[in-house]
C-alpha cells in the first residue's frame, strides 16, 4: 500500500547500510553497539537509520521483534546535546511495559554517553515522584499518552527544547483510543522537530495521524516479511468444558512455555485458580495488577520459572517474551487483528510455533471471520486431544529475589560472581538475571535453589548482605 502523504519530494536516495560502521556514528557509539552484540543492523535498521540520522521524518513499518526500538533510539541518542540538560526527545508508547523496555534499551545504547538521563512517565505509577523527577530535568522522556498529557496540562514538562518525537506502536495507541491525547500532546510541542512514527500496520487511521504530525515523511518498510509458520488448531467446545481441556492441550503438544489468552480479567483469575487446583503453576497478567506485580510476572515467565502465563490482550501488548511454544486462545479474540497479535507471540525471532484456539457455538460469527484471514486453520475434534499423563508441565528453574538493584550499584556481573566464585554454583545452573532499580531476580536451576538460598543469604554480594528469598 502506498500512502498518499508520503513525500514525493524526497530527493535523497534510500541507502541500505549493511554494517553499523557505515553510519555516521562516533567510534564510542559503534564500540558500544558491538559490546551489546548488535553486530549487524536488522532489516528495519538498515533502511531507516541512514534517513533518521539525516534528520528526516519517517513512517516505519516494523513489528515488535524487528529491532525497531534500537532503530529509533540510535538517532535520538546521536543527536542529543548532552550538555544541555533539558528534555530534547519525547517517546510515546501504548503501554507501561513497552515504555519501560524502551527506557532500558535507551540506557543500554547510551552507555558510552556520560550522564544521559532518561525518565519514564507512565500511567499507573505514582504521579508526584514523576513531578519531582521532571523538576530535576532529563534528556529523554518515555511514557504513555494519558500520563504525558497530564504532566503537560500541569506545566510539569519543559517542552521548549524538544527536537525529536517518536510514536511507537502507533497502531496500538490508536486502537486503544489515544488519538486525541496524542494530538493534544503534539499541539504543545515545538513544530521544528523530527518525528518518527513506528507502526506494525498502515491503516487509514495511521494515515490520518501521519498527515497531521509528520513533515514530508519517508516511508520505510521491509519488502519481504519474514515468513514464519504458525500452525493453528481450532476446537469447538462447550463453555463449561474449556478448563478441563487445558492440561491435555499442553501435554499432547509437549509445550514448555505457554501463553493463555482470556478476554476478561476476571476470567484470567478464575482460570488461574482452576488450573492451580489441577496442579499447574500459573501466573496471571492483567491491568488490575500493580505495576510491580506486572513487572515481576513478566520476569518470572520469561526467565522460565513458570510454564504458564494467563493474560488479557491489553496487558500483553508490546511485551518481549521469547520462546513461547504454545499460545492458547481460551476465549476466541474479539476480532482477527487481536487474533493475529496473539498468535504472533509464539513465532518470535523467526521461529514457528503453535496456536490452539477454543471457540463455542456463540463465537461462530467471529470464528468465520478469523477463518477467512487464515485459510490454513486446522479444525479438529476435541476428542482428539489426548492428555499425555507422562508429560510433566513444569519449569526447570526457580527464581531468587535479592532486595538490591541498580540503585545499589548491583550489576549482573556482581551477582554472577557471588553465585559462582562466591558460593561455588556452576554457571550452567544460572539462568536469566534481571536487575531493576531496587531488586534483582535470578533464575536458578530448581535443584540448586535450596543451596543458593542457604549460602547466598549468609554471603555478601559486592561487599553487602542482602535479603534473599524464593519467588
Q: Rule CB under 6 A: which residues touch ligand AMP?
A: 38, 40-42, 45, 64-70, 320
First to last CA, the chain: 48
Alpha-carbon dihedral angle through residues 296, 298, 302, 306, given to the nearest 10 degrees:
70
* Least gap, CB of 38 to ligand AMP (angstroms): 4
CB atoms within 10 A of CB 228: 14
* Least gap, CB of 13 to ligand AMP (angstroms): 22
Nearer to ligand AMP, 68 or 265 (CB): 68
* Least gap, CB of 301 to ligand AMP (angstroms): 16
Q: How far apart are CA 314 and CA 308, in angstroms?
A: 18
Nearer to ligand AMP, 67 or 248 (CB): 67
* Least gap, CB of 202 to ligand AMP (angstroms): 17
Which residues, in sequence order, are CB contacts of 383 under 8 Å at separation 6+? Answer: none
Edge-to-edge order in the sheet of strand 468-470 = 430-435, 440-445, 397-402, 468-470
What grid cell was written down for 87? Answer: 528534555
* Least gap, CB of 19 to ligand AMP (angstroms): 10
* Least gap, CB of 269 to ligand AMP (angstroms): 29
Nearer to ligand AMP, 73 or 410 (CB): 73
User: Greatest CA separation found in the chain?
Assistant: 67
Nearer to ligand AMP, 109 or 332 (CB): 109
Nearer to ligand AMP, 418 or 435 (CB): 435
Q: Find the residue with minimal CB distance to ligand AMP.
A: 69
Q: Beta strand pairing status for 58-61 and 118-121?
A: unpaired
Nearer to ligand AMP, 39 or 277 (CB): 39
Nearer to ligand AMP, 323 or 379 (CB): 323
Nearest partner of 48 among 78, 28, 26, judged by Cα: 78
- Rounded to 5 degrees, what are φ and ψ at 422? -70, -55
Nearer to ligand AMP, 90 or 456 (CB): 90
* Least gap, CB of 40 to ligand AMP (angstroms): 6
List the beta bridge partners of residue 231: 354
Evaluate whether 392 touches 265 at the Cβ level (below 8 Å).
no
* Least gap, CB of 252 to ligand AMP (angstroms): 31
Q: How far apart are CA 337 and CA 17, in angstroms?
A: 32
Q: How far apart are CA 297 and CA 309, in angstroms?
A: 8
Nearer to ligand AMP, 61 or 66 (CB): 66
Between the alpha carbon of residue 379 and those of residues 95, 163, 228, 376, 388, the distances in Å are 34, 52, 20, 9, 21
* Least gap, CB of 46 to ligand AMP (angstroms): 9
Evaluate whether 63 touches 200 at the Cβ level (below 8 Å).
yes
Count Cβ atoms within 10 A of the Cβ of residue 446 and give its class: 0-12 exposed, 13-18 middle, 19 or more buried: middle
Nearer to ligand AMP, 169 or 181 (CB): 169
* Least gap, CB of 343 to ligand AMP (angstroms): 17
Q: Rounded to 5 degrees, what angle do the CA atoms 183, 189, 192 make?
A: 115
Q: How far apart are CA 323 and CA 302, in angstroms?
A: 8
Q: How far apart are CA 37 and CA 42, in angstroms?
A: 12
Q: Three-class SS string for 383-423?
A: HHCCCCCCCCCCCCEEEEEECCCHHHCCCHHHHHHHHHHHC
* Least gap, CB of 196 to ligand AMP (angstroms): 13
Nearer to ligand AMP, 226 or 447 (CB): 226
3-state secondary structure of 10: coil
* Least gap, CB of 22 to ligand AMP (angstroms): 13
Nearer to ligand AMP, 71 or 157 (CB): 71
Amino acid at each position: 500500500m502506498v500512502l498518499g502523504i508520503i513525500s514525493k519530494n524526497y530527493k535523497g536516495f534510500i541507502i541500505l547500510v549493511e554494517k553499523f560502521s557505515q553510519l555516521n556514528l562516533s567510534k564510542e557509539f559503534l564500540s558500544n553497539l558491538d559490546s551489546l552484540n548488535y553486530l549487524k543492523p536488522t532489516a528495519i535498521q538498515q533502511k531507516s537509520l541512514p534517513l533518521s540520522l539525516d534528520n528526516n521524518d519517517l513512517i516505519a513499518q516494523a513489528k515488535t521483534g524487528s529491532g525497531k526500538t534500537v532503530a529509533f533510539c540510535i538517532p535520538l541518542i546521536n543527536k542529543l546535546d548532552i550538555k544541555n540538560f533539558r528534555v530534547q526527545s519525547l517517546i510515546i508508547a501504548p503501554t507501561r511495559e513497552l515504555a519501560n523496555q524502551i527506557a532500558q534499551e535507551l540506557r543500554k545504547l547510551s552507555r558510552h554517553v556520560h550522564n544521559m538521563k532518561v525518565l519514564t512517565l507512565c500511567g499507573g505509577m505514582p504521579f508526584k515522584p514523576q513531578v519531582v523527577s521532571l523538576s530535576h530535568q532529563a534528556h529523554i522522556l518515555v511514557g504513555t499518552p494519558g500520563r504525558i498529557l497530564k504532566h503537560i496540562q500541569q506545566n510539569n514538562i519543559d517542552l521548549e527544547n524538544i527536537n525529536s518525537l517518536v510514536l511507537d506502536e502507533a497502531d496500538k495507541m490508536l486502537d486503544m483510543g489515544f488519538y486525541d491525547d496524542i494530538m493534544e500532546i503534539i499541539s504543545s510541542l515545538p513544530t521544528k522537530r523530527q518525528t518518527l512514527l513506528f507502526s506494525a500496520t498502515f491503516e487509514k487511521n495511521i494515515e490520518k495521524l501521519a498527515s497531521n504530525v509528520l513533515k514530508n515523511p519517508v516511508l520505510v518498510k521491509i519488502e519481504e516479511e519474514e515468513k514464519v509458520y504458525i500452525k493453528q488448531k481450532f476446537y469447538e467446545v462447550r463453555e463449561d468444558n474449556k478448563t478441563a481441556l487445558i492440561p491435555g492441550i499442553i501435554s499432547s503438544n509437549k509445550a514448555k512455555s505457554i501463553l493463555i489468552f482470556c478476554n476478561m480479567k476476571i476470567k484470567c483469575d478464575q482460570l488461574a485458580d482452576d488450573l492451580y487446583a489441577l496442579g499447574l503453576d500459573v501466573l496471571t497478567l492483567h491491568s488490575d495488577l500493580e505495576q510491580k506485580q506486572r513487572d515481576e510476572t513478566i520476569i518470572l515467565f520469561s526467565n522460565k520459572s513458570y510454564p504458564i502465563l494467563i493474560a488479557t490482550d491489553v496487558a500483553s501488548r508490546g511485551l518481549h517474551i521469547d520462546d513461547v511454544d504454545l499460545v492458547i486462545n481460551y476465549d476466541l479474540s474479539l476480532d482477527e487483528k487481536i487474533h493475529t497479535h496473539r498468535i504472533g507471540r509464539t513465532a518470535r525471532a523467526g521461529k514457528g510455533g503453535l496456536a490452539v484456539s477454543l471457540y463455542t457455538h456463540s463465537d461462530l460469527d467471529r470464528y468465520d471471520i478469523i477463518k477467512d484471514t487464515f485459510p490454513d486453520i486446522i479444525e479438529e475434534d476435541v476428542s482428539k486431544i489426548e492428555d499425555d499423563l507422562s508429560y510433566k508441565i513444569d519449569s526447570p528453574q526457580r527464581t531468587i529475589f535479592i532486595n538490591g538493584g541498580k540503585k545499589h550499584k548491583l550489576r549482573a556481573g556482581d551477582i554472577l560472581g557471588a553465585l559462582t566464585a562466591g558460593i561455588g554454583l556452576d554457571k550452567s545452573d544460572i539462568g536469566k538475571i534481571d536487575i531493576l532499580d531496587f531488586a534483582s531476580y535470578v533464575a536458578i536451576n530448581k535443584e540448586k535453589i535450596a543451596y543458593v538460598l542457604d549460602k547466598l543469604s549468609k554471603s555478601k554480594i559486592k561487599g553487602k548482605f542482602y535479603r534473599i528469598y524464593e519467588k
